[in-house]
């Protein structure tokens, strides 16, 4: 089943009379259960593409579909509803709420969705256990290492049972052992839950975890590799 489809998406940022093309007619689709990496140099369009897929931004031209629904021209509130019900995010800088414990950070999406207390507790502890953080549930972010914070962020992203997880440079602020651990957790959860993961990275040590690698350069898709087979455009 198709989770995301991007059709001829262009994104132009305008500052006065200056136009900057972040994406130049990108088309691709992401199927349910994929574990896909977006790669390319800085400025290639990786983050912009993730923002379009995550309903955080809209294309200047073209269309973006999430689970068959055209989200390209939704209002801000409609896009927020789409994110809350379907999309989880993992950020480079973890983005945990500093005054909340690990447990409370993971619980937050469930509170926003109106889930009951017993159901919330079961789900939160299930996820903290899955990322190896159950024993640190009542620690705040400033009491956790970077790797631990990112593991909590993964649990939070999965809390509301989204169809799609988007991760922007999820290992960029981690050392090599912690980065490997984070990627192994993400890959394991992808296999166990079937949730689709799309992550942006420029780190070759991270790229090797992907089962599909989409390469961007200057706002264009220049290669799409699946199971080591390169596309004709490469």
Residue 227 pLDDT grade (very low, low, confident, very high; cuts 50, 70, 90) = low
Question: How far, in Å, CA of 148 to CA of 133, rounded?
Answer: 7
Q: Report whether pLDDT(134) > 70.
A: yes
What is the model's pTM? 0.91
- pLDDT, tens only, 178-221: 999 999 999 999 999 999 999 999 888 889 999 999 999 999 99
- Better-predicted residue by pLDDT, 61 or 227: 61
- pLDDT, tens only, 148-183: 999 999 999 999 999 999 999 999 889 999 999 999
- Catalogue all structural domains in the chain, each as residue range(s) with its CATH number: 2-226 (3.40.50.300)
- DSSP code per residue over the chain: -EEEEEEEEEEEEEETTEEEEEEEEEEEEEETT-EEEEE-STTSSHHHHHHHHTTSS--SEEEEEETTEE-TT--HHHHHHHHHHHEEEE-TT----TTS-HHHHHHHHHHHTT--HHHHHHHHHHHHHHTT-GGGTT--GGGS-HHHHHHHHHHHHHTT--SEEEEESTTTTS-HHHHHHHHHHHHHHHHHH--EEEEE---HHHHTT-SEEEEEETTEEEEEEETTBPPTT-
- pLDDT, tens only, 24-57: 999 999 999 999 999 999 899 999 999 999 999 9
Q: Determine whether 234 is exposed, middle or buried from the number of CB atoms within 10 Å of its CB (0-12, 13-18, 19+).
A: exposed
């Amino acid at each position: 089943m198709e989770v995301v489809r991007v059709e001829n998406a262009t994104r132009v940022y305008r500052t006065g009379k200056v136009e900057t093309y972040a994406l130049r007619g990108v088309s691709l689709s992401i199927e349910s259960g994929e574990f896909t990496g977006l790669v390319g140099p800085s400025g290639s369009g990786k983050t912009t593409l993730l923002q379009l897929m995550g309903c955080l931004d809209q294309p200047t031209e073209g269309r973006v579909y999430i689970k068959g629904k055209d989200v390209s021209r939704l209002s801000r509130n409609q896009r927020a509803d789409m994110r809350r019900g379907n999309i989880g995010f993992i950020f480079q800088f973890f983005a945990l709420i500093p005054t909340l414990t690990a447990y409370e950070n993971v619980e937050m999406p469930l509170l926003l969705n109106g889930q009951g207390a017993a159901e919330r507790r079961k789900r939160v502890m299930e996820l903290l256990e899955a990322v190896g953080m159950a024993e640190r549930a009542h620690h705040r972010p400033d009491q956790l290492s970077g790797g631990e914070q990112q593991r909590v962020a993964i649990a939070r992203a999965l809390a509301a049972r989204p169809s799609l997880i988007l991760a922007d440079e999820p290992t960029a602020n981690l050392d090599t052992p912690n980065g490997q651990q984070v990627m192994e957790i993400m890959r394991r959860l992808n296999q166990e839950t079937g949730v689709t993961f799309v992550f942006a990275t420029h780190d070759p040590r991270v790229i090797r975890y992907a089962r599909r690698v989409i390469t961007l350069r200057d706002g264009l898709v220049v290669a799409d590799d699946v199971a080591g087979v390169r596309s004709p455009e490469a």
